[in-house]
Amino acid sequence: MGRRKTPILVFGWVGGKHACVDLTGVSPLVGLGSSAFTVGQTALNAASGKVIKHEKACLDNQHVFIPFAFDTFVFLAPE
């Protein structure tokens, strides 16, 4: 299986470095079970997962990684 590329590469955006921008939309209602519902938690988890998955590859290529994770309740992760 090949590597998936970042959906958006912005040239010269952050301090002259290219930025790998990953847009992720999630539903906070997916996976609800017995755990308590916290507004924004699903988007925060998605952003954290994207950083773990993609940040090193971007840094190795001297790019900046910027995750934009949001949920369907219009919560945007602060990254």
Please tell me the predicted confidence (pLDDT) of residue 2: 44
- More confident: 2 or 4: 4
pLDDT at 8 over 70: yes
DSSP type of residue 3:
P
Encode 34-65: b = buried (16+ Cβ within 10 Å), e = exposed: eeeeeebebbbebbeebbeebbeebeeeebbb
The pTM of the full predicted model, rounded to 2 decimals, is 0.70
Does residue 63 contact residue 18 with C-beta atoms inside 8 Å? yes
> No. of H helices and E strands in the chain?
1, 3
Q: Which of helix, strand or coil describes residue 22?
A: strand
Residue spans of the domains in the chain: they are 1-24+46-71
Please tell me the predicted confidence (pLDDT) of residue 33: 62
Q: What is the pLDDT of residues 23-76, one digit of tens each?
A: 888 887 766 665 666 778 888 888 899 999 989 999 999 999 998 888 888 777
